[in-house]
Amino acid sequence: MAVPFTPVEIDAIRANTPGCTDDLIHLNHAGSSLPDVSVLDAQIGHLRREAGIGGYEAAEETAEAEAAVYDSIAAMIGGRRHEVARMEHATAAWNAAFWAIPKRPWQRIITHDHDYGANWVAFLRAVEVHGVVIERIPSDAHGQIDLERLASALERPDDIALVSLAWIPTNGGLVNPAAGVGALTRAAGVPFLLDACQAVGQLDIDVESIGCDALSATGRKYLRGPRGSGFLFVHSRAVERFAPAHPDHHGAEWSAIDSYTFAPGATRYEYWEHNHAAWPGLGAAVDVALRLGVDRIQATIAQRAKELREQLVERGMSVHDAGVAKCGIVTMTHPTLDAGEVVSRLATRGVNASSTFLGSARADMEARGLPSLVRLSVHCTTTPAEIQRAATAIGEI
């Protein structure tokens, strides 16, 4: 079990994070976190080169650095570099995998109530396009995916297109038992698409022990990377089984006038054009996480979130985070004010928070009868003093 960072270590991390100042308490890391200065330097440095010598020429100069980003990501998640594809954000990554997975009419898409709004919209579109059906696995008594119900659903694997799971949902502190799901899908031979948008950078990840076939991630949240960056992991065993829906001539070679050949590995999911400043920025963010140790980041976040939950309850707030294991996303309702009002009043007190609304996670919000929620998300840069000040501000509004 990793130990949380000491106060001295947190001060050092904050000193390298320009957004960590005394007059702003950023509790919106699940929205977009605060990057390390090396992330800014990587991006701004590249933008200056593009402006100075031309975009293609600047890209040539940084080709090696761009290639190294795949190694960093692979090291962070326990995958291999050719299993990683560059993406603009998590939904782009998730969709690239989702639409690549073969689907036949009447096959089931198995998911959990906590799956993300964008993913649900894709399920509904797949119902129209492929004639598949959606099967919802309910939550167990702890509020996480019910593994027994999933095991029974997997008894007829031939009529399943895929299992989709949000590891950490957008609207709460739940950490779904992804490895439990992976063990069941591996045994059944069913594709497992894991939305790790809120998990990457926050949880110590090993894709082999999780058993997912594809995993989608974004840069700007717990990785503390640039906006408009992300990645997709596709396991080697799934590469030939799935087929990207919209390859370009980088994802596939136009090998003859009437044929194409997919690029090797996960490259087949990429487009040629991309943000050459954001990708090395993401690499810098991953390198920071690796240097700090994701296990220690995870331990620190868990400790801070626990402190926040306790202090909110002490001040009469209702905390709605489900699950056995909880993460850095803390959701609450105020006894009298709606979520939007709480968020704007906090903003005037120098506290950044956000709210989650029905469309982000409708199935879960409706099942639990929840209105919109205030979402307060901590990171390893958050100090106990900030928790205290933010909780006091919430108690006072």
Question: d(Cα 27, Cα 123) in Å, to the nearest integer?
Answer: 31
- Is 212 near ligand PLP (CB under 6 A)? no
The structure tokens 């009043």 sit at 345
- Is 321 near ligand PLP (CB under 6 A)? no
- 118-367-151-161 Cα dihedral, nearest 10 degrees: -30
Nearer to ligand PLP, 116 or 242 (CB): 116
Nearest in space to 355 (alpha carbons), one of 364, 366, 363, 344: 344
Q: Which stretch binds ligand PLP (CB under 6 A): 95-103, 162-170, 245-253, 317-325?
A: 162-170
Nearer to ligand PLP, 83 or 195 (CB): 195
Identify the DSSP state of 20.
-
In the complex, least distance from residue 54 CB atom to ligand PLP, rounded to whole angstroms = 29
Instruction: For residue 279, give Cα distances in angstroms to 66, 211, 226.
Output: 7, 26, 8
Of 72, 218, 372, 381, the one binding ligand PLP (CB under 6 A) is 218
- Is 166 near ligand PLP (CB under 6 A)? yes
- Is 89 near ligand PLP (CB under 6 A)? yes
Question: d(Cα 84, Cα 6) in Å, to the nearest integer?
Answer: 33
- Is 116 near ligand PLP (CB under 6 A)? yes
- Is 195 near ligand PLP (CB under 6 A)? yes
Nearer to ligand PLP, 107 or 117 (CB): 117
Question: d(Cα 310, Cα 60) in Å, to the nearest integer?
Answer: 52
Nearer to ligand PLP, 49 or 220 (CB): 220
- Is 90 near ligand PLP (CB under 6 A)? yes
Q: Which stretch binds ligand PLP (CB under 6 A): 195-203, 289-297, 303-311, 382-390?
A: 195-203
Nearer to ligand PLP, 185 or 377 (CB): 377
- Is 170 near ligand PLP (CB under 6 A)? yes
- CB-CB contact of 307 with 384 (8 Å): yes
Question: Which alpha helices (DSSP H) does 229-293 contain, by range?
Answer: 236-239, 278-292
- CB-CB contact of 210 with 23 (8 Å): no
Nearer to ligand PLP, 202 or 381 (CB): 202
Helices 278-292 and 37-53: crossing angle in degrees, nearest 10, is: 160
In the complex, least distance from residue 112 CB atom to ligand PLP, rounded to whole angstroms = 12
- Is 201 near ligand PLP (CB under 6 A)? no
- Is 377 near ligand PLP (CB under 6 A)? no
> Cβ contacts of residue 397 below 8 Å, gap of 6+?
334, 337, 342, 345, 346, 349
Question: d(Cα 69, Cα 196) in Å, to the nearest integer?
Answer: 18
Residues of the shown chain interacting with ligand PLP in the complex, contacts defined by CB under 6 A: 89-91, 116, 118, 166, 169-170, 195, 197-198, 218, 230
